[in-house]
């Protein structure tokens, strides 16, 4: 059996058999007679793989979660039978989904569950959730149906630690004055069930110490007992409003492996808040025996609540409004709740800053017909998942140059239409969910009206319905593992479909501002591609910007021009008198960063030095720039018509200025030299040597091959001042890099020929002596591993290959991984150069994160020194921590990508 498997099996065994929860690496190492660092390495690997979890304490305690996965799989296979107690928790599949999963994990953990601490502001629902955890444990047969649920507020005895201990542990007759009989404590009362300790931060250090002894051993004594140990099987839930780091002992915290933070009311989704309002009013309707009608102004005021009172405040306001309305109208069969019935400041209708809801809400005392599932609970089917995955693939093909924009539009529209068909025809029940559909529909309608008014993009009757379905079904369904991947695709959209991206982003922002929360990136990708069908397919037009003083001067003129031509031509930038010019310039720069400016930009302004404006913006624009002053509606319409007709910028600004008697400036784009950048994590010296090999392959050509430092390149080409005068066509590196703004190849891609199409695309319009086939032939000839090492190092390449092979193989064994060929190549090159540096006494000796790395990666440092032991001995050298960090980064970058 492999060592890795032995460690995992022992983890499972100890977790299942031990009376205390969690085990340390040292315990397993002792039992298996293994080095502690090896065991620790595997345990941390299990945590990364999702097979285990650990505490953030010293020593670290590890927990096996396979049993929880079994429970969760059983739960999913049963489809919960709609009896899951967490279903009554609003947001259990929305903003509280992660918290609910943690609570369930704590409840079903083998033996006696895991202690759990609920944190959050007062009134967020910690006590309610604690009760649901208890009910869930019964539902999953973890405890008996009649198991006790005991609640104790530690604040009641905060100033009397002895009395608190007496309540928790019980006391013996005569233990203190007034102890006239033997009395059991709350721990005994909770035997076989749950003890919920609220406001646990009020528990004194002495009380915490007594309690963690029971958490460890399951044994305790009543106050006054000296020779008798008692035992109880109690599950613990703790709750606090305070910062745990400041109020609880480390020794106490480490006994609690799961901490769950409950968000405040203003952090919950608008739909969840709406459902809370409905449920609270429904409960009151049942109490008073009357149907209710809640006026929309009341709903909008309640949706606007934020503050320390949280859900408790919301509930009390609703109870108070019902009491006030009932007092005035108790003879009516239906009670109407108006703004006057709200307490205090809520009587003022201006409290509702936004209109979220446009309908009165009807509550029926005998039938909770409007209490529907939250829209974030709707599950998408496989067709939607498959088509969205296909859209990303098509987008990737566009970025790689495998398809042109026309083919991309056709293919992506096909997938989008399939998704929409699936959404509309198989989810018609969404419209019956009055609470949510009406809410989203109104938001989308307002957003589309704003886009039409400002950007001239007309929408038609069913667009609002379609996008409402899209938002309901796609919002909040992002997988954590691919969020970074979505960022890459968004950057591709910014570059390739900038106008469509801006429209999608504006719709997104309008809805986000209404909801007071962020929507997912997947929704932004879909909206961008949806609006791609609305935007003119002519990608060769230049960009238009209008800048004018006043609160809405620029917006008004742009709106007229965009609406007149029914096309997104101008982006307006208003300059209110109280806003600095630099603030507006910063906004314009940000806008230019998010669009493709290669076809040039025309800027219409009302006043100011045209040269000064250009100086501020010239580094943010790639193409030609034309600037015209004395902006007017007539001038904007004249320029817009010429932009649509694809006239060149110099002609547009010259002719329009003559027609409107204004001043203009034309600035021709500076021609940038084409370049390929080579970089290597091993250092610019290695990159320079690889550059020489590639230069030999490509030969004489109208494109420069540059070697650059890895750190300066990894932050982005645009951020590199050394490259501002270059048109960087391609980056070649020895390790993967996330660079959506430019094409990228790994050295392995170059050697294998798997990405030849990228090289062909980069060199297709470059004047060169060799044709592409000759270049590819030379790549095969010069880029063998032996030749590369021969070029890179002064050492014997045959010997180096053998030594580095052993090192790479040992890393694979220690880390229990099979490295991909590109990672092996990166390590071969890096370690070969590393050995040469050591021999020449030119090693890297410092690293900015060295201190932190030593604290967090002691095992890796130890293993690396063991792996390099023979090499270090042979060459009589030592290995610096900085060099070890570079090896770690190479491996980590590649394995993280996977």
pLDDT per residue as tens digits for the range 159-173: 787 888 888 989 988
- The DSSP bridge pattern shows strands 183-184 and 170-171 to be antiparallel
CA 575 – CA 577 distance, rounded (Å): 6
Q: Give the pLDDT confidence score for residue 71 in this predicted structure.
A: 44
- Spatial CA neighbour of 552 closest among 453, 457, 637, 638: 453
For residue 73, pLDDT over 50 is answered with no
**Residue 247 structure tokens:** 């109020």
- The DSSP bridge pattern shows strands 149-153 and 601-605 to be unpaired
Q: Give the pLDDT confidence score for residue 396 in this predicted structure.
A: 84
pLDDT confidence band for 864 (50 / 70 / 90): very high
For residue 203, pLDDT over 70 is answered with yes
pLDDT tens digits for range 119-147: 999 889 999 999 999 999 999 999 999 99
Domain with CATH 3.40.50.300 in the chain: 101-263
Q: Give the pLDDT confidence score for residue 656 in this predicted structure.
A: 94
CATH architecture of the domain covering 101-263 = 3-Layer(aba) Sandwich (3.40)
Per CATH, the number for 794-897 is 1.10.1790
pLDDT confidence band for 476 (50 / 70 / 90): low
For residue 616, pLDDT over 80 is answered with yes
pLDDT confidence band for 704 (50 / 70 / 90): very high
CB 394 within 8 A of CB 408: yes
Q: Give the pLDDT confidence score for residue 18 in this predicted structure.
A: 47
Q: Is 345 helix (H, G, I), strand (E, B) or coil?
A: helix
CB 86 within 8 A of CB 136: yes
pLDDT tens digits for range 385-412: 888 889 999 988 887 777 888 888 889 8
Torsion of CA 152, 157, 162, 167, to 10 degrees: -30
- The DSSP bridge pattern shows strands 170-171 and 291-294 to be unpaired
**Which phi and psi (to 5°) does residue 539 adopt?**
-85, -5
CB atoms within 10 A of CB 796: 12
For residue 897, pLDDT over 60 is answered with no
CA 260 – CA 5 distance, rounded (Å): 31
pLDDT confidence band for 151 (50 / 70 / 90): very high
Please name the helix (run of DSSP H) or strand (run of DSSP E) that holds residue 676, with its range, or none: strand 673-680
**Rounded mean pLDDT, 812-835:** 83
Q: Is 26 helix (H, G, I), strand (E, B) or coil?
A: helix
Q: Give the pLDDT confidence score for residue 78 in this predicted structure.
A: 44
For residue 875, pLDDT over 80 is answered with yes
Residue 806: partners with Cβ closer than 8 Å, 6 or more residues away: 870
The CATH class for the domain spanning 673-783 reads alpha beta
User: How deeply is 468 buried, as exposed, middle or buried, from its count of CB atoms within 10 A (0-12, 13-18, 19+)?
Assistant: buried
Q: What is the DSSP string of 578-604?
A: TS-HHHHHHHHHHHHHTS--TT-EEEE
Domain with CATH 1.10.1790 in the chain: 794-897
**Residue 221 structure tokens:** 């004594």
Q: Give the pLDDT confidence score for residue 636 in this predicted structure.
A: 94
Largest Cα–Cα separation, the chain? 105
Residue with tokens 């296909």: 390
pLDDT tens digits for range 676-687: 999 987 778 888
Q: Give the pLDDT confidence score for residue 517 in this predicted structure.
A: 62
**Which phi and psi (to 5°) does residue 367 adopt?**
-150, 110
**Rounded mean pLDDT, 707-728:** 81
Q: pLDDT exceeding 90 applies to what percent of the chain?
A: 23
Q: Give the pLDDT confidence score for residue 308 in this predicted structure.
A: 63
Q: Give the pLDDT confidence score for residue 792 in this predicted structure.
A: 62
CA 543 – CA 622 distance, rounded (Å): 12
For residue 337, pLDDT over 90 is answered with yes
pLDDT tens digits for range 641-674: 999 888 999 999 999 999 998 999 999 887 788 8
Between 216 and 68, the higher pLDDT residue? 216
CA 723 – CA 706 distance, rounded (Å): 10
Q: Which of 165-174, 204-213, 749-758 has the highest mean pLDDT?
A: 165-174
For residue 333, pLDDT over 80 is answered with yes
- Spatial CA neighbour of 108 closest among 131, 74, 145: 74
Q: Give the pLDDT confidence score for residue 664 in this predicted structure.
A: 92
CA atoms within 13 A on the CB side of 348: 6
Q: Give the pLDDT confidence score for residue 69 in this predicted structure.
A: 46
CA 261 – CA 84 distance, rounded (Å): 21
CA 132 – CA 138 distance, rounded (Å): 10
CB 703 within 8 A of CB 761: no
CA 274 – CA 279 distance, rounded (Å): 9
Region class of 410: left (phi > 0), else alpha (psi between -120 and 50), else beta: alpha
Which of 510-519, 815-824, 835-844 is predicted least confidently?
510-519
Q: Give the pLDDT confidence score for residue 67 in this predicted structure.
A: 46
Q: What is the DSSP string of 808-846?
A: HHHHHHHHT----HHHHHHHHHHHHHHHHHHHTT-----
CB 347 within 8 A of CB 320: no
- Per-chain mean pLDDT for the chain: 82
Tally helices (H) and strands (E) across the chain.
Answer: 38, 23
Q: Give the pLDDT confidence score for residue 72 in this predicted structure.
A: 46
CB 527 within 8 A of CB 508: yes
Q: Give the pLDDT confidence score for residue 70 in this predicted structure.
A: 47
For residue 640, pLDDT over 90 is answered with yes
Q: Give the pLDDT confidence score for residue 436 in this predicted structure.
A: 66
Angle subtended by helix axes 310-329 and 270-288, to nearest 10: 40
Round to the nearest angstrom and report the end-to-end CA distance of the chain: 26
Residue 870: partners with Cβ closer than 8 Å, 6 or more residues away: 803, 806
pLDDT tens digits for range 31-46: 888 877 678 778 877 8
pLDDT tens digits for range 431-452: 665 456 777 788 888 888 888 8
CA 884 – CA 705 distance, rounded (Å): 30
**Which phi and psi (to 5°) does residue 362 adopt?**
-100, 130
Residue with tokens 């990364």: 48
Q: Give the pLDDT confidence score for residue 404 in this predicted structure.
A: 80
Say whether the peptide bond before residue 259 is cis (omega within 30 degrees of 0): no
**Which phi and psi (to 5°) does residue 44 adopt?**
-65, -35
Measure Cα distances from 73 to 78, 79, 380, 719 in Å.
9, 10, 19, 47
- The DSSP bridge pattern shows strands 258-261 and 235-240 to be unpaired
CA 660 – CA 881 distance, rounded (Å): 68
Local structure of residue 349 (DSSP, 8 states): G
The alpha carbon of residue 200 and the mean position of all alpha carbons in its chain are separated, in whole angstroms, by 32
pLDDT confidence band for 769 (50 / 70 / 90): confident
Q: Give the pLDDT confidence score for residue 619 in this predicted structure.
A: 81
Which of 471-485, 632-646, 706-720, 796-810 is predicted least confidently?
471-485
pLDDT tens digits for range 74-124: 444 444 445 889 988 988 877 888 899 999 999 999 888 999 999 999 889
Angle subtended by helix axes 434-455 and 553-565, to nearest 10: 90
Four-way CATH pick for 543-667: 3.40.50.1010, 3.40.50.510, 3.90.230.10, 1.10.287.3510: 3.40.50.510
**Residue 878 structure tokens:** 């030592």
Q: Give the pLDDT confidence score for residue 350 in this predicted structure.
A: 44
pLDDT confidence band for 631 (50 / 70 / 90): very high
CA 643 – CA 477 distance, rounded (Å): 40
Domain with CATH 3.40.50.510 in the chain: 543-667
pLDDT tens digits for range 830-847: 888 888 888 888 788 888
- Spatial CA neighbour of 154 closest among 237, 216, 213, 215: 237
Q: Give the pLDDT confidence score for residue 433 in this predicted structure.
A: 57
- Spatial CA neighbour of 859 closest among 258, 254, 64, 60: 60
**Which phi and psi (to 5°) does residue 223 adopt?**
-60, 130
Torsion of CA 752, 756, 758, 763, to 10 degrees: 130
Q: Give the pLDDT confidence score for residue 473 in this predicted structure.
A: 78
CA 566 – CA 692 distance, rounded (Å): 53
Local structure of residue 794 (DSSP, 8 states): S
């Amino acid at each position: 059996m492999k060592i890795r498997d032995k460690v995992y099996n022992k983890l499972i065994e100890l977790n299942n058999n031990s009376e205390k929860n969690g085990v340390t690496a040292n315990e397993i190492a002792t039992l298996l007679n293994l080095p502690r660092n090896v065991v620790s390495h595997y345990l941390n690997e299990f945590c990364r793989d999702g097979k285990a979890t650990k505490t953030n304490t010293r020593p670290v305690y590890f927990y096996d979660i396979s049993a929880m996965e079994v429970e969760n799989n059983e739960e999913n296979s049963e489809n919960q039978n709609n009896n899951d107690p967490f279903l009554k928790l609003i947001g259990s599949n929305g903003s509280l989904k992660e918290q609910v999963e943690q609570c369930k994990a704590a409840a079903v953990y083998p033996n006696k569950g895991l202690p759990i601490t609920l944190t959050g502001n007062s009134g967020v629902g910690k006590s309610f959730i604690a009760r649901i955890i208890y009910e869930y444990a019964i539902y999953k047969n973890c405890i008996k149906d009649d198991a006790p649920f005991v609640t104790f507020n530690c604040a009641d005895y905060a100033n009397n630690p002895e009395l608190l201990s007496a309540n928790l542990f019980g006391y013996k007759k005569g233990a203190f004055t007034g102890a006239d009989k033997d009395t059991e404590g709350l721990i005994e009362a909770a035997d076989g069930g749950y003890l919920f300790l609220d406001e646990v931060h009020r528990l004194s250090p002495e009380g915490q110490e007594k309690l963690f002894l029971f958490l460890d051993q399951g044994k305790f004594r009543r106050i006054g007992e000296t020779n008798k140990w008692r035992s109880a099987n109690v599950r613990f839930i703790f709750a606090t409003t305070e910062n745990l780091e400041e109020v609880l002992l480390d020794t106490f915290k480490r006994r609690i492996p799961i901490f769950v933070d409950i968000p405040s009311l203003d952090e919950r989704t608008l739909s969840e808040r709406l459902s809370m309002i409905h449920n609270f009013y429904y409960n009151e309707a049942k109490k008073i025996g009357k149907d209710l009608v809640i006026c929309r102004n009341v709903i909008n005021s309640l949706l606007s609540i934020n503050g320390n009172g949280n859900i408790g405040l919301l509930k009390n306001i609703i109870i108070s409004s019902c009491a006030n309305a009932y007092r005035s109208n108790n003879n009516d069969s239906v009670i109407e709740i108006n703004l006057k019935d709200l307490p205090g400041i809520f009587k003022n209708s201006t409290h509702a800053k936004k209109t979220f809801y446009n309908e009165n809400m009807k509550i029926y005392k005998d039938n909770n017909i409007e209490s529907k599932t939250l829209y974030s609970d709707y599950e998408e089917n496989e067709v939607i998942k498959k088509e969205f995955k296909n859209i990303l693939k098509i987008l990737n093909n566009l970025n790689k140059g495998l398809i042109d924009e026309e083919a991309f539009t056709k293919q992506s529209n096909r997938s989008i239409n399939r998704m929409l068909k699936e959404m509309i025809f198989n989810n018609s029940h969404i419209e019956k969910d009055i609470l949510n559909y009406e809410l989203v529909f109104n938001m989308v309608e307002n957003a589309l009206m704003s886009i039409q008014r400002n950007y001239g993009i007309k929408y038609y009757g069913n667009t609002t319905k379609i996008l409402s379905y899209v938002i309901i079904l796609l919002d909040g369904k992002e997988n954590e593992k691919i969020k970074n991947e979505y960022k890459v695709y968004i950057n591709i959209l910014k570059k390739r479909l900038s106008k469509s991206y801006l429209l999608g982003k504006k719709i997104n922002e309008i809805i986000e501002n209404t909801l007071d929360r962020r929507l997912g990136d997947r929704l932004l990708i879909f909206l961008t591609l949806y609006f791609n069908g609305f935007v003119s397919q002519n990608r060769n037009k230049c960009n238009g910007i209008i800048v004018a003083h006043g609160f809405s001067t620029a917006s008004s003129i742009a709106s007229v021009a965009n609406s007149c031509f029914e096309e997104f031509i101008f982006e307006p930038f208003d300059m209110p008198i109280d806003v600095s010019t630099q603030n507006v310039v910063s906004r314009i720069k940000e806008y230019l960063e998010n669009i493709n400016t290669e076809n040039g930009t025309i800027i219409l302004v009302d006043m100011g030095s045209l040269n000064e404006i250009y100086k501020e913006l010239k580094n943010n624009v790639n193409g030609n720039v034309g600037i015209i002053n004395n902006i007017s509606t007539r001038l904007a319409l004249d320029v817009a018509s010429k932009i649509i007709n694809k006239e060149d910028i110099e002609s547009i600004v010259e002719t329009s200025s003559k027609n409107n008697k204004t001043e203009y400036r034309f600035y021709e784009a500076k021609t940038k030299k084409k370049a390929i950048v080579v970089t290597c994590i091993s250092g610019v010296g290695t990159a320079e040597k690889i550059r020489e090999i590639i230069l030999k392959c490509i030969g004489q050509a109208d494109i420069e091959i540059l070697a650059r430092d890895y750190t300066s390149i990894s932050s982005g080409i645009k951020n590199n001042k050394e490259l501002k005068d270059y048109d960087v066509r391609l980056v070649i590196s020895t390790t993967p890099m996330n660079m959506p703004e430019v094409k990228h190849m790994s050295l392995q891609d170059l050697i294998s020929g798997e990405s030849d199409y990228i090289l062909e695309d980069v060199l297709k319009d470059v004047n060169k002596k060799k044709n592409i086939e000759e270049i590819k032939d030379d790549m095969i000839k010069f880029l063998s591993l032996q030749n590369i090492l021969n070029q890179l190092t002064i050492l014997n390449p045959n010997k180096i290959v053998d030594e580095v092979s052993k090192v790479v193989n040992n890393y694979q064994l220690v880390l229990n991984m099979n490295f991909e060929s590109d990672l092996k190549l990166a390590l071969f090159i890096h370690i070969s150069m590393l050995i040469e540096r050591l021999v020449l006494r030119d090693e890297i000796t410092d690293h900015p994160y060295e201190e932190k790395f030593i604290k967090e990666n002691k095992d890796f440092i130890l293993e690396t020194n063991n792996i390099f032991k023979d090499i270090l001995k042979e060459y009589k050298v030592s290995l610096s921590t900085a060099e070890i960090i570079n090896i770690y980064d190479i491996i980590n970058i590649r394995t993280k990508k996977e």
